[in-house]
Amino acid sequence: MTQAHHISLLDEDEALSREELAQLCHVEAAWIDELASHGVITPLAGTRFSAVTITTLHKARRLEQDFALNIPGVALALDLLDEIERLRTELRRRG
Amino acid sequence: MEYKDYYKTLGVAKTATPEDIKKAFRQLARKFHPDINKEAGAEAKFKEINEANDVLADPEKRKAYDELGSAAAQAQAQGQGFRPPPGWSEQHHFHDRARPGHAGTADFSDFFEELFGGRGRGGPRQQQQQDFKMRGEDSHARIAVNLRDSFAGATRQISLRVPEMDASGNVVMKDRVLQVKIPKGITEGKVIRLKGQGGPGFGGAEAGDLYLEVQFAPDDLYRAEGRDLYLTLPVAPWEAALGASVKVPTPDGPIMLRVPENSTEGRELRAKGKGLPGADPGDLIVKLKIVWPPATTDKARALYEQMAKDMPFDPRAKMGV
């Protein structure tokens, strides 16, 4: 069974309000505010977020649920994962 | 069907206490969680761990699984494959507990489905859900794309095991093939959203969305970082020393690049705009690697001997020896 599908690319330049983001990710807007207050996500200008934030929110949600983390724990895990990714890239560059 | 040794999956003994199992599961989940472990196979391993935990952490399911016991494993070892004993599903009714977020609800093995599955195979839960509406879950997967596909765009076929509603409203696992259009200029880490291709909704509610995270398959020549491409270019010693115009491959066809004279090993040259395409295209960063022809002929040997004689050069001058 093969079919073509409606696809869209999450766009860095597409700005979403926190309400739109909350609706897309099926989370409370307050949860988004809390992540933002820990610097996990950063609004573009003002209060709108880039559409690629969706990926971070999904990841934060999974880490929160799968490891029973609180928001500071999620923030720390995401920072460490970013750092590992940066070091891996650096390693590949030298290799 | 293949018999699954859930104790082996979690690396615990058959006599393990619930605490042992919980601890083993948590340790393995931390190690193989797909958000943490990016290696190929980690996601599959994570699913196996979740499946094993789903059974062993539930006293009711664990007891039933143990009852199957070694007879089933033996049949498997003798190459007979695994069949649940007759009357199994009449004797056992399992209720689904909520599972952690990432593993989602579904894609457990056939072995699991046969023994503990049949989500919504009748039973009280389903009755209650008659007039209950809930949007389907969003699902996530990674999609491997050739970085060369970023230049022209491409269509990729991907296979997914997804939960679907059958005619009588039961959730069954189906293998589904999707054609996904890879847009031109795609970069690693970009996410493609397929609307309505996630988990099915309940009670006529809409399905969730499917998110595909793009990963580049390893390429023989290029490595991508954002829109920039990295290429290691072998050059002859005389090209590096004297300077030369050399032909350099790019995914979009070869270009000519000027190697400045007295270039050293590891020097990086930048070909502007020759990286991945886009409104602001990336660059191709060419790293020079000087390779030496072996002295296998008299002529080559004579040339090396002449260099040794006529060129005052001590590569170890700074080592104090």
Contacts of A4 in chain B (CB under 8 A): 179, 181
Interface membership of B197 toward A (CB under 8 Å) = yes
The helices-and-strands tally (H runs, E runs) of chain B is 10, 11
φ and ψ at B150, to 5 degrees? -65, -25
Which of these, B214, B182, B210, B181, lies nearest to B197 by C-alpha position? B210
Q: How far is A7 from chain B (nearest CA, A)?
A: 5
Contacts of B230 in chain A (CB under 8 A): 93
User: Sign of torsion, CA B236 B241 B244 B250?
Assistant: positive
> How many C-beta neighbours within 10 Å does residue B56 have?
25
Q: Verify whether the Cβ–Cβ distance A2 to B225 is below 8 Å.
A: no
Provide Rg for chain B, Cα atoms.
29
Which residues 59-88 of A have a C-beta within 8 angstroms of B? 59, 61-67, 77, 81
CB nearest B211 (choices: A5, A58, A67)? A58
In angstroms, rounded to a whole number, what is the distance separating the alpha carbons of residues B136 and B201? Answer: 4
In angstroms, rounded to a whole number, what is the distance separating the alpha carbons of residues A37 and A71? Answer: 10
**C-alpha A24: how far from chain center:** 12
Q: Is B187 helix (H, G, I), strand (E, B) or coil?
A: coil
Angle (CA) B79-B81-B83 rounded to 5° is: 150
Q: Verify whether the Cβ–Cβ distance B193 to A65 is below 8 Å.
A: no
Alpha helix stretches (DSSP H) within B78-145: 88-91, 110-116, 124-128
CB B237 within 8 A of CB B292: yes
Q: pLDDT of chain B along its 321 residues, tens only?
A: 778 899 999 999 999 999 999 999 999 999 999 889 888 788 889 999 999 999 999 998 898 888 877 666 666 667 666 777 766 666 666 655 444 444 444 567 878 877 787 543 333 444 444 567 777 778 888 888 888 888 888 888 877 776 666 777 666 777 778 888 888 888 888 888 888 888 777 777 888 888 888 888 889 999 998 899 999 999 999 999 999 999 999 998 999 999 999 999 999 999 999 999 988 899 999 999 999 999 999 999 999 999 999 998 899 989 988
CB nearest A7 (choices: B30, B177, B192)? B192
In angstroms, rounded to a whole number, what is the distance separating the alpha carbons of residues B231 and B35? Answer: 28
Whole-model pTM?
A: 0.68
Identify any residues that bridge with B213 across adjacent strands, giving them in sequence order: B142, B191
Q: How far is A52 from chain B (nearest CA, A)?
A: 8
In this model, does residue A86 exceed pLDDT 70? yes
How, if at all, do strands B191-194 and B210-216 pair? antiparallel
Q: How far is A35 from chain B (nearest CA, A)?
A: 18
E strand residue ranges, B61-146: 139-145
Q: Taking every pair of C-alpha atoms in chain B, what is the biggest distance, in angstroms?
A: 93
Q: Verify whether the Cβ–Cβ distance B194 to A9 is below 8 Å.
A: no
Q: How far is A46 from chain B (nearest CA, A)?
A: 24
- What lies within 8 Å, CB to CB, of B180 at 6+ separation is A5, A7, B143, B155, B156, B157, B158, B192, B194, B212
In angstroms, rounded to a whole number, what is the distance separating the alpha carbons of residues B56 and B63? Answer: 8
- What lies within 8 Å, CB to CB, of B110 at 6+ separation is B1, B2
Map tokens 């009670």 to a residue: B203
> How many C-beta neighbours within 10 Å does residue B98 have?
7
Map tokens 């072996």 to a residue: B294
What phi-psi label fits residue B29: left (phi over 0), alpha (psi between -120 and 50 degrees) or beta?
alpha
CB B198 within 8 A of CB B137: yes
